[in-house]
Structure formats: C-alpha cells, structure tokens
Amino acid sequence: MNPQDLLYSKDHEWVRVEGEDGTVGITEHAQKELGDIVYVEAPETGAEVKAGDEVGTIESVKAVSPLYSPLSGEVLEANGGLDDAPELLNQEPYGNGWIYRMKLGDIGELDGLMKAEDYEKLVSSEE
Amino acid sequence: MAANESAPLKKTALNAAHRRLGGKMVEFAGWDLPTQFKGVIEEHMAVRTRAGLFDVSHMGEVEISGPDSLAFLQWITCNNAAKLKVGQIQYSALMTDMGTFVDDLLVNRTGETEYMLCINAANVDKDVAYIKTLARGDVNVINRSDDYVQLALQGPNAQAILDPLTGADLSGIKYYRLVHDTVLDAPSIISRTGYTGEDGFEIYTSPEHAEKIWYALLERGGTDEFGLQPVGLAARDTLRLEAKMALYGNDIDDSTTVYEADLGWIVKLKKGDFLGRDVLKRQKVEGLKMILAGFEMTGRGIARHGYPIVRGGEPCGRVTSGSFAPFLKKNIGLGYVPVDVSPVGTEIAVLIRGKEVPARIVETPFYKRQK
C-alpha cells in the first residue's frame, strides 16, 4: 500500500528522491486520519527549510494540522493544483496530491527516514 | 481522550451501533459520539441532497409541568411562550438577568400545562440546576434527559423515509410542530425540527427502542432511491453553520446578549417581565456596540473560532465559528464585530497565523433550502 520506492518520516510524510531533488507529500495513513482536507498551505518557492521545521499547514474540515518538512533544503515548487482541489491529498496522496518539490540540502539526512516496511510497522504500532 | 480523566465517557443507547458502523468516535460534552462515518463532506452533502440520520441523544430534555408552568417559562425565557398552542415549538433562550444566554433551547409545548425544553448537552447539569433554583409557583421541573434518546432525520427525503414507519401523518405536521405518536410501535414525540436548515424530523423515544428504530431507518432509507446515511458531529456543525444556527459556547454564551447575538427575533419585550428584560430594553434604546455577523473569506484561508477580526489594520472583533462550507464550497464564518462594521458588503480581514486574510460581511443565513 505504501509505495516501496519512497522514504517515510515519523510525521507521516513521504519523500520521492530524484537525483538531488525530492518531492514531499503525506501518506495514506495521514490523509485517512485527517479526514476531508479542505485547505493546504505549502511552503513558498525559494524558501529555505530545515528538517523538522513546521513549513505549512494542512486543514481538514475540523482541524488545523502542521506540515513538517522531512528534510532540509530549498523549496523549488509547491503543487498549485491543491489550491483548487485540496481533496487530491485524500484521493491521490502519493500521486497528484504531492505537496512540494525541494532541492535536497543534505543527502545524509535520507538515512534518518524510513523505508516502506519500517513505516508500516510504525503505523501498526500507532493504531 | 476524555476531557475529565476521572469520569468515563457517557454512551448513548446507540454507541455499539455507531462502532459497528465504523463511526470515528470522539469525546463531546462528556459523551462518546461519532464525529463522522464515511466522511464529513459526504455526510453533509447527503443531508442537503438526500437524507442523513443523527444520534443526538446527548441533548437534554427538561419537563416543566403544572398550573404555573407557562408563567414560570415566561419569566426565564425571552420568547413569548404564551403563543404556543399544544404541539407547537419555539426557539428561545434561557436568560440570565444580564440579558445573556444560560442556554439556547427549543420550548416544546407537549400538553396543556406541560412543556419539554430541549437543551444543549454541554449545559444539562447547569440548566437543570438553574431552572430548579428559579422555580416559582406550582410547577414541577424534571430532568428527563436520561429517559429519552433523540434521533434526527434530516433532508429532502426525510418524510418519505419515515412515513411508513410511523403511525403519524407526517404531511400533517407543520414546521415547528410536534405530535405524540409511534415509530415502529414505540411511543414517541415526533417534531418537525432540526439543526441543519433542511426539512426533517426529530424523534424522541425511550432508549430501549433506539437500536430498532435506528437500523430500520437506515435500512429503509439506505436504498439508491432515498440515499440515507448516518451522519456524525462534524457534519452537524458544518450544516448548522451554513444555516446560520448558533452554537452555544461558540457564538453565544452568558457574556453575549440576545440582541448582540443577532437573535432579536426571539425577544418579545411586550410579553411581560422576564429575566434580563431591562438590559435588553436599554440596548434596544441605546443601540448595540457589537453584533454577530456572517462573513465569507475572499482571500485564501479558513477562519476559525477565536481568530481576530481586523479592519483598517486594527483588531475589532473575533471569529466565533468558522469553517469550510461543503455545500456552498466557500469558507464562511460568524463573528462579533462593531455595529458599524456589520453592514453587508463591509470588507474585513481575519488574522490567520499572523497574516491578514481578506473577508467580507455577507447576508445570512449563508444557505437557505428551496421550499
């Protein structure tokens, strides 16, 4: 269920590494926990972010949740499609629901993320 | 997750049924209730376009009876209960002597000298104690909250779904009227009321009949023709907000007068003296400083309870309720603003995480059903 080619954070985000860049989103488990998502505030293009920083907001009908950056680097692009269709986060969390792309500042940080199998263990332990 | 760790959460008679249906359970006013089943937006739209079924058994019921019950009710509420025929209902406020709300409620005239007040779950103990302290004349005040479960069936298909299951002639029940009849042979009060802005019914009956009625309604209504879904608390909140119905604790409380809450239509100063009447009379003459107004966001962002309202760069009010509105597909809210900011069309801003996001005062209710 969680794509094998992605890396995962304990805050229920995923990263797709492509060379020196990464695409960031939230996991299937996260979108299910949040419920219907109605608003996404992604970090701005050009923003410098650090791993663990609160870089944006994801709002469901009922609640405001912080978006943390899993890695450090520079934001290249936010997914504008989420402005009009925040529900993409619910419908395609690993596809068209991606949140932002970034230039990875420190490849070494990837070691701090989990593979799908370990992420799935984390989710089971939380349920 | 209980707010009060020492007391276990209260459960309605339908708790097991909600869990069986996959309800996402949360704590609300000391009760274990479903916030959603399939999803807030889906449930909200079901009520607006087809039908939804709510367990609102956590609400309270207080019976006031006896020869002096009308006089007593007239004293403690601001609306004119003398206008109620048997079987008639009115929205009203349980008053403080400052013209503010102890609670908002429905006054149901269930008999010649018998009334049933439907009150908010969070206020049951407070209201009952308050009413009992104030009781005057030959009246009986009985907390009947544990004696009733309450189901709300709301939406354009509500009548068609309920009709064959009840002895009552539903087409004969006008809005804000009730009858004593049966649902699946269970003695019930059936009122044409609700907290959604749609047509619908609220069924008050004994807890032992709850599951039978709940499942029968879901079975009958769950066809493609009727499209009935169980609905949780989250959608209950978005539905009432679109219909601009107040929520105690958010939009109204014991610090807001009935006029400030933009509920002047339930204040009947001429009916005779009542708690808080002096303050309200004065406000009517002198005018208000602040008033509850509806707004919609014109910039990107969702206003939420507690966020400051800003005009000309200066904070001037506060958001009391705010959300994405699933039917209207807009971000809307209610808030207290200075009276000169309240005219429809006034441009304001809401401070969201330190940023001023533009909004505009709009006409309310935000949503009105087609008759």
Structure confidence at residue B338 (pLDDT): 98
Q: Is the pLDDT of residue B222 over 60?
A: yes
Q: What is the pLDDT of residue A127?
A: 77
Provide, as residue numbers in chain B, all residues whose Cβ is less than 8 Å from the Cβ of A57. Answer: 353
Q: Is residue A45 scored above 90 in pLDDT?
A: yes
pTM as predicted = 0.96
Average pLDDT over residues B310-324: 96
Smallest CA-to-CA distance from A99 within A19, A62, A44, A46 is with: A44
DSSP assignment string, B219-257: HHHTSTTT-EEE--HHHHHHHHHHTT---BTTTB-TTSB
Distance CA B93, CA B102 (A): 7
For testing the chain B interface, which of A61, A64, A82, A84 should be mutated: the one with the most B CBs within 10 Å?
A61
**β-pairing verdict for B60-65 and B228-230:** unpaired
Contact across the interface for B238 and A59, Cβ inside 8 Å: no
The predicted structure's pLDDT at residue B4? 52
* Mean pLDDT computed over B82-108: 98
pLDDT band at B1 (very low <50, low <70, confident <90, very high): very low
Taking the C-alpha atoms of residue B70 and residue A76, their distance in angstroms, rounded to an integer, is 69
Q: Convert the pLDDT of each residue in B190-214 to its tens digit.
A: 999 999 999 999 999 999 999 999 9
Burial profile A54-71: b = 16 or more Cβ within 10 angstroms, e = fewer:
ebbbbbbbbeebebbbbb
The percentage of chain A sitting over the pLDDT mark of 70, rounded to a whole number, equals 100
- Residue B239 to residue B145: CA distance in whole angstroms: 24
Mutate to test the interface with B, among A62, A67, A87, A91 (most CBs of B within 10 A): A62
Predicted confidence (pLDDT) at residue B6 exceeds the cutoff of 90: no
Please compute the mean of the pLDDT values over residues B345-355 and round it to a whole number.
97
pLDDT for residue A126: 86
What beta strand segments (E) does chain B contain? 24-28, 31-36, 51-55, 60-65, 89-95, 101-111, 114-119, 140-143, 149-154, 178-183, 186-191, 200-205, 228-230, 290-297, 308-311, 314-325, 330-338, 347-352, 355-362
pLDDT average, residue stretch A1-13: 94
Residues of B in contact with A39 (CB under 8 A): 300-302, 324, 331
Backbone angles phi, psi at B17, to 5 degrees: -60, -40
pLDDT at B95 over 70: yes
Nearest-CB residue to B40 (from A59, A61, A64) = A61
pLDDT, tens digit, 9 for 90 and up, residues B34-58: 999 999 999 999 999 999 999 999 9
pLDDT, average across residues B104-113? 98
Beta bridge pairs of residue B109: B115
Q: What is the pLDDT of residue B145?
A: 98
CATH code: domain A7-121 is: 2.40.50.100
Q: Cα separation of A62 and A34, whole Å? A: 9
The pLDDT mean for chain B works out to 97
What is the residue type of B355?
K
Tally the C-alpha atoms within 13 A of residue B113's C-alpha that lie toward its C-beta: 12
Q: Which of A39, A57, A83 sits opposite B324 (nearest CB)?
A: A39
> For B133-145, what is the mean pLDDT?
98
- Residue ranges of the domains in chain A? 7-121
Vertex B280 angle, CA B138 and B113, to 5°: 20
Instruction: Decide if B325 contacts B244 (C-beta within 8 A).
Output: no
Residue-wise pLDDT for A53-112, tens only, equals 999 999 999 999 999 999 999 999 999 999 999 999 999 999 999 999 999 999 999 999
Residue A43 has pLDDT above 60, yes or no: yes
For chain B, percent of residues with pLDDT exceeding 90 = 98
What per-residue confidence (pLDDT) applies to B158? Answer: 98
- pLDDT category of residue A25 using cuts at 50, 70 and 90: very high
Q: What angle do CA B84, B87, B88 make, to 5 degrees?
A: 40
* Minimal Cβ distance to A36: which of B41, B301, B304: B41
Structure confidence at residue B88 (pLDDT): 98
Domains of chain B, start order? 15-56+148-242 (3.30.1360.120), 60-141 (3.30.70.1400), 289-362 (2.40.30.110)
Query: Cβ separation of B36 and A83 shorter than 8 Å?
Result: no
Q: Give chain A's mean pLDDT.
A: 96
Pairing of strands B200-205, B330-338: unpaired
The amino acid present at B331, given as its one-letter code, is: N
Residue range A45-59: average pLDDT?
97
pLDDT attached to residue B370 = 83
Is pLDDT of B352 > 90? yes
Q: Is B297 helix (H, G, I), strand (E, B) or coil?
A: strand
Q: Look at residue B14 and tell me whether its pLDDT is greater than 70.
A: yes
Chain B residues with CB-CB distance to A67 below 8 A:
none
Residues B194/B154, Cβ–Cβ less than 8 Å = yes
Scan residues 92-151 of B and list those with Cβ closer than 8 Å to A. Answer: none
Question: What's the pLDDT at B2?
Answer: 47
Whether the predicted pLDDT of B306 surpasses 90: yes
C-alpha to C-alpha distance for B298 and A53, rounded to whole angstroms? 29
